[in-house]
Amino acid sequence: MTPATPVLVARETELAVLEQLLQDGGLGPSLVRVTGAPGVGKTALVRQALERHPGPVLEGRGVPWEGSRPYAVLDQLLAGERVPPDPFSAAELVARRAAGTAGARAVVLVDDAHWSDPESLQALATAVRHQHRAAVTVVLVGPGAPVEAAPATLDVLLRSATATVALGPFSAEDVARLAAARGIPLSPAGAEHLWRHTGGVAGHVVALLEELPRETWTGRRPDLPAPAVVASRVRDQLVRCDREARALAEAVAVLGPAPVAEVAALADVGDLLAALDGAQRSGLLRPAGPGRPTELAPPDPLVAAAVLTAMGPAGVARAHRRAAEVVEDATRRIGHLVAASVGPDAALACDLDELARRRAAEGAWADASALLADASRLSEDRRSREDRLVRAVDALVGAGDAIGAAALVPEVESLRETPLRNAVLGYLAVVRGRAVEAETRLRRAWDLVNPARDPGAAALVSQRFVLHELAGCRAEELVAWADRTIELAGPDAPEALEAVAIRGLGVAGTGRPAEALAGYRAPSERVRSGAQAQRVQLGEGWLHLTLDEVAQAATELESAVPTTYLGGSHRISLWALGWLARARFLTGEWDAALGAVAQGGDLVARTGMVLVAPLLHWTGAQVNALRGDWDAAGRALRDAEAGSSDYPIMRVPSMLARAAVAEARADSAGVLRELEPLARNGPRGWVDEPGAWPWTDVYANALVLEGLLDEADAFLLPHERRAAERGHRSTGARLGSARGRWFGAHGDLDAAREAFRTSLGLLEQLPLRYDRARVTYAFGQTLRRAGKRREADAAISAARDGYLSLGAATCVARCDRELRAAGRGAGRAEERTDLLTPQEQTVSELVASGLSNREVAAELYVSEKTVQYHLTRIYTKLGVRSRAELAALRGRTPAT
């Protein structure tokens, strides 16, 4: 009976390739190898491909004990028919038996082909080479590098294939999909844990999902065993080892990758070289890898887990206690003591707590969280146990694992109410974008804490308020809480260092950029490495970006992205990626910008820190819209809106993303609609501060394009004044462009020229390629409206060159339409359209593409009445009566 086809996940490409190879009947016989590590899903892939195959299928399987019996596999394929003794005759017989119905290829499948007898494989290879009329595909399934195969078998496998379909291990995302297909939802962190443990081998993933209770996959990250089949194989390998080889394998499983000297000391072997030979031959240990010649390691986490299971709990505990005496590193030593503990140990819990404090002071929150979780488990009294658990969750949030922390919320909420508990829950609410919940919990924490009696707890609550005010874009409140944190904690405490790293942003948000920059000098000099440096670099990079120091900002933000700083924070990395994407956008490095967006998007999915998602996807939406990839821009907008948007630091970039897409579509009314909440209600202060968020010029420009000139003037004046007071160059240039349009709309061309030239002069000092092209284009449109065609053509051509260098296809097309409307670069007219003037050509093209009169007017910077006038003349000249007829005449399908 044919086995049931297993659920196939994340193999769509390989399946399509294999199905095509099986169906391609016009190429004669073929031999296809399907390769990959054991358990990677080769058989499942082939079964799925054969489910819909219309032709006959002959199946056989190689097994080790039949590898030396000639034609053992052919006996299976030919169902007992006598096999001729030479490969040519056997090949003819295979071709006759495999003959299928007309138009349907036959498939000869040999699973575990590396264990097949050479004679059978030689006959199949001969059939492929010499039976030219046979419509048959031979499929050999096995590992990519079958070192255990007989030489003759290996020769056929490596030399005879006409095509190979190679399967690699799954990614963490594939592991999550595989679990979901079996009704087990995994968090991104849980999927990554299972992926690392199994190496992404589908068979091992499925085995653990089926063998372990469903509750294994909820709550804290579990210690995972080996699948039963691996555990059984490893037990057999251990039994076959001599005592010293087994001792060496057990020592490596306990220690993990470790120097040979430590492994030998723990194993206590007499003849180290002989023991090494035996353990390596058994497959229970290996050299640690390139560049680590004096270290040994388990082959993979599953083998290590299986060895530990075979040792039993008592044996593992004894080995860990001995390991604590052997290893030199203090952190590893305490880890072995924890692993050896079976009950409460107050002294060890205190040691763990102290080490966690040191890791937290370095900003290594992931390490601190793991240490505090162990300390909580080993604590004897309830108060210490609960305090350490809450701090472990707090450190987990600090490391950026909001999903893992959220899984522990029910456990934390069940504990007695303390300022620390509320502060931690409030902190988690902040990074999940839940402003109302965060405010409630943090206010309750502050009400409960007594700063005089417990300044440490008060400092922690205060520092969480710093993050809350940052997300709320409340600069003055941020500075006040930061100062309070530093006073309560002392300048060298982790809470104070993080407050200092953020404080400068608040100072700049209150209009004191010079003071903000000066405030970073001391922490930059004092903290030059480690995870705390990551925080300072983020703050400096963010600040420099708002002050138009884009190149320096990019360098600092790139340095703040990695999380290798002693377990640095994903939270900081996400912010760094969000602002790095903006820096790359501004300088025209749009592929790099999208790379940062993609990296950050993956990190958001893994960590659950949705607070930063809108910032990331704002850049993605804008770049894709300017490139004309509207589907990708739409996806980015949806991603920017995902989750809660309680905080201004989420709402503002979401609005800017929607406005950017509307502007790329020349939909100035849409721009006003998206940004009107900012113009009407605020938030004010920081959001209006020059350099913080580039929205004021976009809104002012749309007001002018919509003919709302009085509203535009009233809106521009205070923002122009503030930009001048701050001396902020890019904001002055952007607002100057909007003012230039405003002067042009009033017919004051001299004032418009002055405004545009001043703006371009400011931008000459800055590496803002998109802004330079955008201002130049606006200048050209204004000149064209004033009838200065020659000047307008020069400006628009220059803008076109700038847009073209950026890959801004949407803007390039707009420039081309402007130039055609002016009589330059007009392309070949379609049927009867040679009767049209250049302006009418452009209007007819836009209308035929599906734009409304209002949208055409916005594109060409003319009134709707002018568009309607041109459209009436177009209809008359071309003899059409509707937009649909015009689209048909021009061979266009109107956009919907």
pLDDT at 55 > cutoff 90: no
pLDDT recorded at residue 531 = 66
408 or 728, which is more confident? 728
The share of the chain scoring above pLDDT 70, in percent, equals 92
Indicate the pLDDT class of residue 668, thresholds 50, 70 and 90. very high
pLDDT recorded at residue 320 = 94
Q: Which residues sit opposite 498 in a β-bridge? A: none
Mention every residue, 6+ apart, whose C-beta is less than 8 A from residue 759. Answer: 732, 733, 734, 736, 737, 740, 775
Task: Give tens-digit pLDDT for 69-86.
Answer: 988 988 888 876 788 888
Q: Give the other-Cβ count within 10 Å of 809's Cβ.
A: 14
Superfamily of domain 694-821: Tetratricopeptide repeat domain (1.25.40.10)
What is the spatial order of strands in the sheet that 163-166 belongs to? 57-61, 106-111, 136-142, 30-35, 163-166
pLDDT at 20 > cutoff 90: no
Taking residues 168-189, report their average pLDDT.
85
Q: DSSP of 500-519, one letter per residue?
A: HHHHHHHHHHTT-HHHHHHH
Task: Give tens-digit pLDDT for 735-760.
Answer: 999 999 999 999 999 999 999 999 99
Task: Give tens-digit pLDDT for 485-534.
Answer: 999 999 888 888 889 999 999 999 999 999 999 988 887 777 666 667 88
Superfamily of domain 12-168: P-loop containing nucleotide triphosphate hydrolases (3.40.50.300)
Query: Residues 688, 680: contact at Cβ < 8 Å?
Result: no
Q: DSSP of 197-230, one letter per residue?
A: HHTT-HHHHHHHHHHS-GGGGSSSPP-----HHH
pLDDT recorded at residue 482 = 96
**What pTM was computed for the model?**
0.73
C-alpha to C-alpha distance for 200 and 551, rounded to whole angstroms: 39
Query: Residues 57, 106: contact at Cβ < 8 Å?
Result: yes
Indicate the pLDDT class of residue 891, thresholds 50, 70 and 90. low
Taking residues 190-203, report their average pLDDT.
89
pLDDT recorded at residue 1 = 35
Taking residues 590-596, report their average pLDDT.
94
Which runs of consecutive H residues, i.e. helices, occur in 861-894?
Answer: 864-878, 883-889
Taking residues 776-801, report their average pLDDT.
93
| Low-confidence winner among 203-217, 325-339, 353-367, 458-472 (lowest mean pLDDT) | 353-367
Residue 297's closest CA among 333, 255, 325? 255
pLDDT at 874 > cutoff 80: yes
C-alpha to C-alpha distance for 581 and 583, rounded to whole angstroms: 5
**Residues in the chain, overall count:** 896
Indicate the pLDDT class of residue 565, thresholds 50, 70 and 90. very low
Give the CA dihedral 833, 836, 838, 842, nearest 10 degrees: -60
Give phi and psi for 137, each to the nearest 5: -120, 120
Task: Give tens-digit pLDDT for 326-377.
Answer: 998 888 899 999 999 988 999 999 999 999 988 887 777 788 888 999 999 9
Q: Residue 149: helix, strand or coil by DSSP? A: coil
CATH class, domain 226-342, is mainly alpha
Residue 86's closest CA among 94, 98, 96? 94
Alpha carbon 689 to its chain's center: 31
Task: Give tens-digit pLDDT for 255-268.
Answer: 998 888 899 999 99
Q: For 875, which DSSP code?
A: H
User: Is residue 295 within a helix (H) or strand (E), and if so which, with residue range?
Assistant: strand 295-297
Mean pLDDT of the chain: 87
pLDDT at 451 > cutoff 70: yes
Taking residues 216-232, report their average pLDDT.
85
pLDDT at 406 > cutoff 50: yes
C-alpha to C-alpha distance for 772 and 736, rounded to whole angstroms: 12
Q: Give the other-Cβ count within 10 Å of 780's Cβ.
A: 27
Hey, which CATH number is domain 833-889, 3.30.460.10, 1.10.10.10, 3.40.50.2300, 1.10.150.50?
Answer: 1.10.10.10
Backbone angle region of 466, left / alpha / beta, with phi > 0 → left and psi within -120 to 50 → alpha: alpha
Alpha carbon of 571 to those of 244, 353, 364, 443, 508: distances in Å?
Answer: 47, 23, 12, 23, 22
Indicate the pLDDT class of residue 428, thresholds 50, 70 and 90. very high
pLDDT recorded at residue 32 = 92
C-alpha to C-alpha distance for 122 and 106, rounded to whole angstroms: 19
Q: Which two tokens stand for residue 761?
A: 């002069």
Backbone angle region of 890, left / alpha / beta, with phi > 0 → left and psi within -120 to 50 → alpha: alpha
pLDDT recorded at residue 866 = 84
Q: For 31, which DSSP code?
A: E
pLDDT recorded at residue 91 = 85
Task: Give tens-digit pLDDT for 796-847.
Answer: 999 999 999 898 989 998 998 888 876 665 443 344 556 788 888 888 888 8
Task: Give tens-digit pLDDT for 678-725.
Answer: 998 655 678 889 999 999 999 999 999 999 999 999 999 999 999 999
Q: For 665, which DSSP code?
A: T
pLDDT recorded at residue 840 = 85
| Beta strands per DSSP E along 133-215 | 136-142, 163-166
Mention every residue, 6+ apart, whose C-beta is less than 8 A from residue 741. Answer: 701, 704, 705, 752, 778, 781, 782
pLDDT recorded at residue 27 = 63
pLDDT at 781 > cutoff 80: yes
> What is the Rg, in whole angstroms, of the alpha carbon atoms belonging to the chain?
34
C-alpha to C-alpha distance for 422 and 442, rounded to whole angstroms: 6
C-alpha to C-alpha distance for 624 and 480, rounded to whole angstroms: 40
Taking residues 273-280, report their average pLDDT.
88
Which runs of consecutive H residues, i.e. helices, occur in 682-748?
Answer: 696-705, 709-726, 729-745
Taking residues 476-480, report their average pLDDT.
96
The share of the chain scoring above pLDDT 90, in percent, equals 52
